[in-house]
Amino acid sequence: MQGKLVIFSAPSGSGKTTIVRHLVASMPDKLAFSISATSRPKRGAEEHGKDYHYLTPEEFKNRIKTGDFLEYEEVYAGTYYGTLKSEVERIWATGKNVIFDIDVQGGLNLKHQFKDRALAVFVMPPSIKILEERLQLRQTDSPESIALRVEKAEKELQTAKLFDCFILNEDLAKACTEAEKLVGDFLNTPHTQA
């Protein structure tokens, strides 16, 4: 059984996680969230198997060698993120489609692999300044980490044109409504084998 993939990518702090959570809650019979693997430490009240599959850098590298990932990337020095093949297979086995909240490079890698079976959506922040303010309000990152994320975001914004579409997240309720329509239309369109 193979379903479709819905990919939401954006710079950190753009609101993609909030939009993805909204979509999973509003389409529980159609969508299930793909839990990414990471080698970064847990933040706050995050839980293994719920927020991420937490692996040590050594475990992550070993799973790369054994071909367990659909895609992965060293996002920051020594910090890996990736999508386990077993996670996508687990969701498809339930008859649902997979939704991703994933970094920009990972999103493009998945789109490249799955082509018309994947919808790749880029969530655009209103501005870099607002993005930086959102990251500061989260109070989960150091000023140095925020500076790195803002620098990375400036580069990631240049890739928006490589995605199927983008949503400007200036007003969260409006962005969620737009996301529902895009995803609903995509899921209701029959997939044709290439």
Contacts of 73 (CB under 8 A, 6+ apart): 80, 81, 82, 103, 105, 106, 109
Residue 66: its pLDDT value, please? Answer: 97
Question: pLDDT 10s digit of each residue in the chain, 194 long?
Answer: 589 999 999 887 788 999 999 999 999 999 999 999 999 999 888 999 988 999 999 999 999 999 999 999 887 788 999 999 999 999 999 999 999 998 888 899 999 999 999 999 999 887 788 778 877 887 777 888 888 777 877 788 788 899 999 998 989 999 999 999 999 999 998 866 54
Q: Which one-letter amino acid corresponds to residue 93?
A: A
Question: Which phi-psi region, left, alpha or beta, contains residue 95 (left: φ > 0; alpha: ψ -120 to 50)?
Answer: left
Measured in whole angstroms, how far is the alpha carbon of residue 88 from the centre of its chain? 13
Residue 44: its pLDDT value, please? Answer: 85
Q: Which one-letter amino acid corresponds to residue 88?
A: V
Cα 8 to Cα 168: distance, rounded to the nearest angstrom = 12
Cα 136 to Cα 151: distance, rounded to the nearest angstrom = 14
Evaluate whether 107 touches 120 at the Cβ level (below 8 Å).
Answer: yes
Structure tokens at 149: 């994320």
Residue 35: its pLDDT value, please? Answer: 94
Residue 150: its pLDDT value, please? Answer: 79
The domains located in the chain, with CATH, are: 5-188 (3.40.50.300)
Cα 15 to Cα 38: distance, rounded to the nearest angstrom = 20
Q: pTM of this prediction?
A: 0.85
Residue 192: its pLDDT value, please? Answer: 60
Q: Nearest Cα to 34, choosing from 97, 104, 87, 106?
A: 87
Cα 42 to Cα 60: distance, rounded to the nearest angstrom = 15
**In the 3-class helix/strand/coil scheme, how is 56-98 assigned residue by residue?**
CHHHHHHHHHCCCEEEEEEEECCEEEEEEHHHHHHHHHCCCEE
